[in-house]
Structure 1
Amino acid sequence: MEEFRLFVQTASFFLFIILALLMIAAYSRLFFLNTKINRLKRRYDHLLRGKGDMDMEGLIRSHGEELDEFRKKLDDSLRSQKEMNTKVQFSLQKLGYVRYDAFPDSNNELSYTMVILDSFNNGIMITSLYGREQSTSFAKYIRDGKSKIKLSDEEKQALTMAINGEFPIQ
């Protein structure tokens, strides 16, 4: 026991230095870990910004619910777009128009035939015949690009123009 006391008295300075170095190392490690924790806390707070007292689990659930809402809205939008595409096919979108002189004694091409079709080549043909004494207008139904009623050359031309999408813009 005496030997131990003698050793401690002679080596106390070295023990003090070793303990001081160990304390400095511990404090530096503590400072490093504290800095790392503060950085993680800032990142965590940034991740949860504006969410109040929510924790990570709540945040993940919240994002999951938001994703479900966005999926539902996307599905609704896609369904709506599909419905609109179907409706557009039935809208009037092809036009054929021919002006002509219906009678030999008329001029200035005041008579016309106009054909309006959807994407399935169904629609109407409106013809107006202008004469010096009277003017007549009539309509013909077009189905699959054809009429059940006989067509004049000008009406055939307007129908072909509409089917082929050759409406000239003047």
Structure 2
Amino acid sequence: MNGIIGAVGQNTASILLAVIAVMVAIVAWQAILHRRLEAQRRVFARLTQGVHIGNLEEVLLQHVDELRSYADRIARLETHADATSRELQGCVQHIGVVRFDAFDDVGGQQSFACALLDRHRNGVVISGIYARSDLRVYAKRLDRGVPNVPLTKEETEAVAQAAAGPAS
């Protein structure tokens, strides 16, 4: 025992330096762990923000339930968007209007041809022929851009204008 005490007594400075080095290492390690713990606390605070549950497992389960709910809602919205897109294909998307003078004695381009087409070029051409004593309106159906009866020059121009223009 005297040998150990004697060795300690002779190496007190070295032992003291070793103990100080170990203590500095422990303090440094404690600082690192403290930073990590604070980072984890911030993450936990963000996870539990607005939630009145104390247990991390319960918070995570609640978040998973919310994510499932959002996924279900997104799926329903995608289904609705697809149905709406299909419906819109049959709606008027292209419009072409040509104004003209049907007769030499009537000016002001009061006659017109209006083409109303869907995405597939189905639709109608409505023409209004203005004369001094009356106005006559005609409608001609189009299936895939092909009329059911021959079109006038102005009606053909209105269809071409509608087909060339952007969807409205």
Normalising by structure 2, report the TM-score: 0.75
Aligned to 1:44: 40
- The share of aligned pairs that are identical, in percent, is 22
CA contact (8 A) 2:99 2:110 kept: yes
CA contact (8 A) 2:8 2:15 kept: no
Shift in Å, 1:17: 4.4
Aligned to 1:53: 54
Among 28, 36, 61, the residue aligned to 2:24: 28
> Which is further off, 107-116 or 85-94?
85-94
Aligned to 1:108: 108
Per-residue CA deviation, residues 55-96 of structure 1 (Å, 9 max, x unaligned), is 3x5565455445434444443443343333323322211112
Larger Rg, first or second structure (1 or 2): 1
Per-residue CA deviation, residues 104-157 of structure 1 (Å, 9 max, x unaligned), is 322222111111101111112111111111112232222211222332222222
With over 3 angstroms needed to count, the CA separation of the structure-2 counterparts of 1:10 and 1:150, relative to structure 1, is closer
Give the secondary-structure state (helix, strand or coil) at the position aligned to 2:91: coil
Give the secondary-structure state (helix, strand or coil) at the position aligned to 1:49: helix
Aligned to 1:151: 151
Give the secondary-structure state (helix, strand or coil) at the position aligned to 2:125: strand
With over 3 angstroms needed to count, the CA separation of the structure-2 counterparts of 1:10 and 1:49, relative to structure 1, is closer
Inter-partner Cα distance in structure 1 for 2:165 and 2:14: 95
Normalising by structure 1, report the TM-score: 0.74
Aligned residue pairs total 161
With over 3 angstroms needed to count, the CA separation of the structure-2 counterparts of 1:12 and 1:165, relative to structure 1, is closer
With over 3 angstroms needed to count, the CA separation of the structure-2 counterparts of 1:100 and 1:9, relative to structure 1, is closer
CA contact (8 A) 1:48 1:54 kept: no
Q: Gapped runs of 5+ residues in structure 2?
A: none
Inter-partner Cα distance in structure 2 for 1:132 and 1:108: 12
Q: Gapped runs of 5+ residues in structure 1?
A: none
Give the secondary-structure state (helix, strand or coil) at the position aligned to 1:150: coil
